[in-house]
Amino acid sequence: MAKEKMRTVKRLGAGYGLKPRRRLNEIEGGYLGRLQKCSECGAQKVKRIEAGIWKCQKCNRKFASNAYRVI
Ligand SMILES: [Zn+2]
């Protein structure tokens, strides 16, 4: 739904530029708080520790990736 996305963007108002807006959309898009898939063991148990750092709770592998999701 395009209208849903626009609500997030509009809330920020003008003057923030495109980059932070897009980032907020990514965060609010649900990437945070959702377990990601581990590229090593394939388990859906990868949790974000901090921006860009992810850790698999199954094989304990820690790796750097995109700040808000595993790529
Ligand atoms: Zn793993």
Q: For residue range 30-57, what is the model confidence (pLDDT) as tens digits?
A: 555 678 889 889 999 998 888 888 899 9
Q: Does the domain at residues 35-71 carry the CATH identifier 3.40.190.10?
A: no
Dist CA 7 CA 50 (whole Å): 27
Place of tokens 């997030």: 8
57 CA → ligand 1 middle, Å = 7
Dist CA 27 CA 39 (whole Å): 21
DSSP annotation of 53 reads E
pTM metric for this prediction = 0.51
Chain CA centroid to CA 52, Å: 9
Q: Can you tell me whether residue 52 is helix, strand or coil?
A: coil
41 CA → ligand 1 middle, Å = 4
15 CA → ligand 1 middle, Å = 41
For the chain, domain boundaries: 1-31, 35-71
Over residues 11-27, the pLDDT tens digits come to 655 566 666 666 666 55
36 CA → ligand 1 middle, Å = 10
